[in-house]
Chains A and B, each alone.
Chain A
């Protein structure tokens, strides 16, 4: 809680009290995870990230936990349930999106689920993520499944289109039935440390999203330093992000464990400061079952079990599911599996 926050520097008292956080809540989105706060520069300026230490922790996390056998299978099913099954390609067609949506509803072969005794879990992916023009197709295809449709927005991936168009894009996708909007930010606000401008931008997105959940993609691969990544994460959360997300999947470097660790720690800090929970979505570059488990371990260790569900955690991935399916078949049969034994996404 902010009132109890211990300042790094006792000479600088905390500017924001819990009360001021409460009145800052923007609108009555009962189901929003994070109502946001006013812009608090101190929370940004206090951030200190040591890259080498973060990398050591990331490396050691990979080696410190190792779910095996039934636990491994369960963790992989958890990864599937937290997956935003994604297609973001210029040649996407309704047919392609329908196939993806079918896969989202049945991501793992029924016989495998049966063999694992996991049918009752009703495993589906966490969401399907598409461009705006495919939202309607996806919403139709997923009708009745309960699987939300997420749309990337705001001039994804570069965020270089005029602000009014970006806001209109959000509104159009919400109108079309997207209940999750993955927005991109103006990277130069971060690179020039114009935090107020970033806050204002994301706050405007937040308002445009209405009741839809907003995932803010900060494009970590273009932000240069872990300190920038941490600060951008904090600003986005103050502006009301329901999720913070690493990457568009289009940058040269997408999600990595060190970057994710920094963002996850910011989520923890933001919760300590405000009491609000924000979700996390690493995206891009997560291709193997082992990667997925590493991320889940990190979430469990750094944030706790409360975050190990699709409401609080998502993978943005396109090829990950295929590897997990093969691992699950290996778990069931004891034999290594092949790609062609699992349906295409």
Chain B
């Protein structure tokens, strides 16, 4: 088009970013890409093609790692790890700083390569992916520097297997590698098979940067290679970003292995617009929420919840805005939406949209939005979507926005939380009271107030519920690559009691009336649903009494009671502390009685019994003290605003108590859980359940609200399995044998509940570093990052 014509049309023309440097690099690797293992380039026996989704052109051949290749990479990481961890924080910081620098030096080539391999617009890879990846290394160079002094009781986890998705290939590699290296771990990273190239170019830069061999190993391949990495016995942690289904499989395959897990999974994130929002800005927010990266974003704001009175106005604006989106060649600088990663993904999007329409949704797409060639899908609006429609609940992972309306703030929150997921959310309102009231009530790891898809290395990112476990970014993300320095020995078995004597408890001169220990559910004592009891036999063989033999239905009732006690999670931290102090006070009133119970049940000495009771009282004080002091953080991302990292309760938590130190262990697990605002279903020691049934009388006299603590006695492992499978239980702590721990973790994958198990290792409950501390608080909470941009002055 000549200048005069262009003057008349005022069209944009094309503005292709140069790909010549990347084309030359691809040519150098025409023979095929190798893998980066132990600082060397290793070829695999098999390979596969990787394509540019925008035009279908093959970019190169990528190695398919075999199990042997994975093993080689893990061995390299293992060999390199001790020396890497032994470097001073400053030395590791210098390496991370060098990585940040070298990424910066080659940022344009990396951005172009990313766009060619993934199909995302060059604007995004250039202005978002690369700067944020670089920032991640700078930020974590800082953590490496500070680690020795700021986190002295923590050490590296060891060898970490990292499996990343295709939607932000290099950025996710940075999110994984930077904190791992800062903390002293060595990694084996596997990029997604659709998008291996930027990780391989990155590996070449690592080579140049002088990183020691084996610290970072990059293997390529499909899910089979990923599975080999997950299954590898010598991997200490798996960090995965991807679909919830694969995340669930990873949790299942690593159950009981002791492999630490970070899972960043799917979402169906709500984007809530109240009638007092800046609507034009909310529309731009939607562009960034669901038409960013073609909607292939785990935290995409894919559910628009709009207040009824403004719905029509907002949607009219949205349609106008959608018509302005330019879809096409991702290397064109004036393009808003590029290609969908693969034809299979496009077909999945099409099928879900079709199903949504069949279920009543109304479809709207701008006309002539997409180029005729290449793997493109237009921006899509689905209105008349009821909560029951598939497109209201299923992650589409494409540029498809489902719209629902609400009447009130309460209804908005209910709809927002009406999902299995809990990754992110946006709240749009010009009323700070409303926005800050809504944010804590949304069950999601990230809340963006009047903004969306904001990320920064200083802030934690990660999901509630089936959106994952663990955080990436911020100090909360750093902890995922650390473990407390503690050396727990295998638990010695508690000696079997003497053969039960045929004496009745009433033979005991001190007991004049039959005592029937019941369950404690919803603040009431109740009998077992099945009407069965179990004898309680002392170490000496004396029959001490009986307790209810809990069943599935008792667990159901206990979980229901815990679920309904939601008010506890909203009670002030001061209020929770007061209750814990009151429990301690009442326990001290009856200390002698509990001593006696310990002596008669466990057979400990009077001194040991007294010490256990005293420590139990002290532990209650300890967590009462922490209740209003386990503060979150105010992170400082590079915006005008703050990010509040709030430690929130997980929800309903199941606790399976060990037999050793039955009173102290129970209190040590229960107190942090309720101090942090969780509601508990507690299965006491199977051997010494009377300590727990005695304890509910203390709960009853300590103003503990009904349902906050529920106690069901019986066959512990069977009951824990029911709890692990229960979809309403959000977290689970369990102390048991390695085999039982595995079973409990496997059973918990249904709703991906947070689990913390001891794998048969003995925690010394008397010890003040092993038996209590911040680790317990971290395990009893999840971090929510609330982004609050501000400013109203020009």
Contacts and interface: CB of A to CB of B under 8 A. Distances in A.
A155 interface: no
Interface in B751-793: 789-793
A51 B278 CA distance: 9
B789 A52 contact: yes
A328 to B, nearest CB: 10
A258 B793 CA distance: 12
A209 B280 CA distance: 33
A220 B310 CA distance: 29
A259 B275 CA distance: 23
A68 B12 CA distance: 8
A168 interface: no
A71 B123 contact: no
Most buried by A among B10, B284, B308: B10
Majority secondary structure of chain A interface residues (helix, strand, loop or mixed): helix
Contacts of B13: 67-71
A226 B792 contact: yes
Interface in B322-347: 324, 333-334, 336
Given A57-B284, A63-B127, A67-B13, A118 B794 contact: no
A73 B312 CA distance: 40
Nearest to B278: A50
A300 interface: yes
Interface in A17-53: 48-53
A340 interface: no
Contacts of A8: 275-276, 309-310, 313
B1 A52 contact: no
Contacts of B794: 51, 220-221, 223-226, 229, 253, 256, 258-259
Interface in B649-681: none
A7 B6 CA distance: 40
Interface residues of B, number: 47
Interface in A274-313: 296, 300-301, 305, 308
Interface stretch (A74-82, A84-92, A126-134): A74-82
Nearest to B309: A10
A109 to B, nearest CB: 14
Nearest to B307: A8
A56 B792 CA distance: 14
Contact of A117 (B2, B127, B640, B641): B2
Interface string A113-143: 0001110110000000000000000000000
Interface string B424-457: 0000001000000000000000000011000000
B592 interface: no
Contacts of B572: none
Given A53-B451, A64-B336, A77 B7 contact: yes
Contact of B10 (A68, A256, A305): A305
A211 to B, nearest CB: 29
A6 interface: yes
B123 A48 contact: no
Interface string B625-660: 000000000000001110000000000000000000
Contacts of B278: 48-50, 53-54
A207 interface: no
Contacts of B793: 51, 224-225
A48 B792 contact: no
B4 A118 contact: yes
A121 B275 contact: no
A68 B14 contact: yes
Contacts of B336: 64
Nearest to A265: B280
A99 interface: no
Interface string B1-24: 111111100111111000000000
A77 B4 CA distance: 9
B640 A52 contact: yes
B131 to A, nearest CB: 12
A66 interface: yes
A258 B288 CA distance: 18
Contacts of B6: 67, 70-71, 73-75
B312 A117 contact: no
A8 B428 CA distance: 14
Contacts of B792: 51, 225-227
B532 interface: no
Nearest to A51: B791
A57 B281 contact: yes
B313 A6 contact: yes
A65 B334 contact: yes
B226 interface: no
A117 B639 CA distance: 46
A226 B794 CA distance: 7
Contacts of A68: 13-15, 333
Contacts of A66: 12, 15, 333-334
A53 B278 CA distance: 9
A77 B12 contact: no
Contacts of B789: 52-53
A52 B794 CA distance: 11
A9 interface: yes
A70 B1 contact: yes
A296 B5 CA distance: 17
B394 to A, nearest CB: 29
A209 B275 CA distance: 39
B279 interface: yes
Contacts of B280: 265
Contacts of A10: 308-309
Most buried by A among B13, B278, B308: B278
B285 interface: yes
Interface string B302-317: 0000001110110000
A300 B791 contact: no
Contacts of A69: 13
Contacts of A71: 1, 6, 11-13
A7 B311 CA distance: 10
Interface in A206-230: 220-221, 223-227, 229
A260 to B, nearest CB: 12
Contacts of A51: 791-794
A52 B791 contact: yes
A70 B641 contact: no
Most buried by A among B3, B123, B336, B792: B3
Nearest to A120: B4
A74 B641 CA distance: 40
B79 interface: no
Nearest to A7: B309
A63 B131 CA distance: 14
Nearest to B335: A64
A225 B430 CA distance: 14
B12 A50 contact: no
A205 B717 CA distance: 85
Contact of B3 (A56, A118, A258, A301): A118
Contacts of A300: 10
A9 B309 contact: yes
A180 to B, nearest CB: 23
A70 B639 CA distance: 37
A78 B7 CA distance: 7
Nearest to B121: A64
A68 B628 CA distance: 59
Contacts of B281: 49-50, 53-54, 57
B159 to A, nearest CB: 40
B25 to A, nearest CB: 24
A64 B288 CA distance: 12
B685 to A, nearest CB: 54
21 contacts: A8-B276, A50-B277, A50-B450, A56-B288, A57-B281, A64-B336, A65-B12, A65-B334, A66-B12, A68-B13, A70-B1, A73-B3, A74-B3, A75-B6, A75-B10, A77-B3, A116-B4, A118-B7, A223-B794, A224-B793, A305-B10
Given A52-B791, A70-B6, 5 more contacts: A8-B275, A8-B276, A53-B278, A74-B5, A226-B792
Closest 4 CB pairs of A and B: A53-B281, A74-B6, A71-B13, A52-B789
